[in-house]
Amino acid sequence: MAIGFDFGTSNCSVAHVVNGHVQTIPLSENETFILSALCAPTRAAVSEYLFRCLNIAPSSSAGEAVLSRAMSDNRAEGLEVRLDDVLFGKQALNLYLEDPDYVYYVKSPKSFLGTLQLREPQLVLFEDIVCAMMANIKSRAEAYLGQEITETVIGRPVVFNTLGGEKSNIQAEGILYRAASRAGFKHIEFQFEPVAAGLDFESTLTSEKNVLVVDIGGGTSDCSMIRMGPKWLTKKDRPETLLAHAGKSVGGNNLDISIAFQRFMLEFGKETNYKSGKAMPTMFFWEAVATNDVNAQRKFYSYENLETLKRLRAEAMYPEKVQRLIQVHQKALGHMVVGEAEKAKITLSDQSEYIASIDLLSEKIDIPIFSEQMEKSIAEPMRQIKNLIKEILLQGEVTPDVVYITGGSARSPIVREAVKSVLPNTPIASGNYLGSVTEGLARWADLCFK
């Protein structure tokens, strides 16, 4: 049996085709989406969980070395890894929020894929995390359907990491492929996410059109210019219809991080001075909320940085604010702060004001944020998204008949206005913002594995 698998930055979902109709498969309490999050007692617990609880072996000698080290570390800590020690989705998030100091929490591992200059053990860990999440989703889908799933089409962005180029794409797709194979999929294909979203839109067309698909996902923004229409619906080989592709590693997460950095970090000491009058560096505040940058997170949460932050507090004009930054470090609260920024972004799509509430355990900070402030905070990522649309127009050398906009962040009026600013005279269509990629992947899987 074949499914379309959207391994998303924010959420994951799967679907299949039954009698020509796409059916999304419930994954959690009748919800068709599961949060892209994992929580475990320790980082080392993830690798042992796969081997001991799911009988999933490493895919390389480097993986075997990581597993051996993980099992040794777990024994040294007196940890016997059990099946219910590793949680996923909202259960993982709830445990993290309940006790962030004593768990290993990962959200949006897809954001880390394609990061270059990483050591082999880190790449192995990413593969293990992705494999654990995929195995969990596969198991849930099989339990619902009552049959084994062996074939899948997995969505991927046009560009995983803007800085790494094609090397990043090869590394990231390799991790996804190995993880899916270890999770039990026997036949695996990939499809660009904007193309998949376009396939879903194509099923509604009654005539031929040049369609610009703009997919604003959690971690990436992708554009594809595609010639669409009824005559292409059942064709797998259609290279002449794929006119251009472009992508950047900027998406909804970047908007959340920008809000957290520009607005929230003011309460943690950003834009304040040392007692000497010299301006305090901003890098510390950026690294605290850059949850999609593995190197920034590793630097912020290092023991050496804790000592630096303490010196910063001693020299700061407002030490009580820097103490909050230390709390973020000591309690691993970066994901919580960015999560509150995401709530602000969503709420301000429909309202003019939102009161963010950041719980540092020792105190709770209420921060008002207005829609104009949010728009200013996300100006830079929005500029990048507009430039991406301009790039695809140059590549495709055609004017689209319609723009099909999708992705969770595409619901924001600010995003839609950005698209309009580049193509003011082109109609904009939208469908299932969160589900169009999944549904398109399911359609492609139905074609691939017939």
pLDDT in tens, 141-156: 999 999 999 999 999 9
pLDDT at 416 over 90: no
pLDDT at 30 over 80: no
Do the beta carbons of residue 341 and residue 114 sit within 8 Å? no
How does strand 37-40 pair with strand 104-107? antiparallel
pLDDT at 23: 96
- CATH T-level fold of 2-185: Nucleotidyltransferase; domain 5 (3.30.420)
Give the integer Cα–Cα distance in Å for 356 and 264. Answer: 9
Average pLDDT over residues 396-414: 87
Which residues make up the CATH 3.30.420.40 domain(s) of the chain? 2-185, 208-250+381-430
Joined together, the tokens standing for residue 368 give 């008002």
Helices (H), 369-424: 371-377, 379-396, 413-422
Give the integer Cα–Cα distance in Å for 311 and 319. Answer: 10
Give the integer Cα–Cα distance in Å for 392 and 154. Answer: 23
In 3D, which of 258, 253, 250, 243 has the Cα closest to residue 208? 243
pLDDT at 239: 84
Give the integer Cα–Cα distance in Å for 218 and 144. Answer: 27
- pLDDT category of residue 295 using cuts at 50, 70 and 90: confident
Highest mean pLDDT, choosing among 89-103, 226-240, 333-347, 404-418 = 333-347
pLDDT at 432: 83
Average pLDDT over residues 250-258: 89
Q: What is the mean pLDDT of the chain?
A: 92
406, amino acid identity: T
φ, ψ dihedrals at 38, nearest 5°? -140, 140
- pLDDT category of residue 117 using cuts at 50, 70 and 90: confident
How does strand 187-192 pair with strand 151-156? parallel
Q: How many residues does the chain have?
A: 450
- pLDDT category of residue 240 using cuts at 50, 70 and 90: confident
CATH of domain 208-250+381-430: 3.30.420.40
- pLDDT category of residue 251 using cuts at 50, 70 and 90: confident
Do the beta carbons of residue 392 and residue 246 sit within 8 Å? yes
Q: Output the CA torsion sign for 280, 285, 287, 292.
A: negative
Q: What is the pTM of this model?
A: 0.87
pLDDT at 446: 93
- pLDDT category of residue 314 using cuts at 50, 70 and 90: very high
Do the beta carbons of residue 447 and residue 23 sit within 8 Å? no
H or E element that contains 7: strand 2-7
Average pLDDT over residues 191-201: 90
φ, ψ dihedrals at 15, nearest 5°? -155, 165
In 3D, which of 245, 241, 217 has the Cα closest to residue 229? 241
pLDDT at 249: 84
Q: At what angle do helices 334-347 and 89-98 cross, to 10 degrees?
A: 120
Average pLDDT over residues 75-79: 93
Average pLDDT over residues 300-312: 94
What is the 8-class DSSP label of residue 50? I
- pLDDT category of residue 369 using cuts at 50, 70 and 90: very high
Average pLDDT over residues 345-361: 90
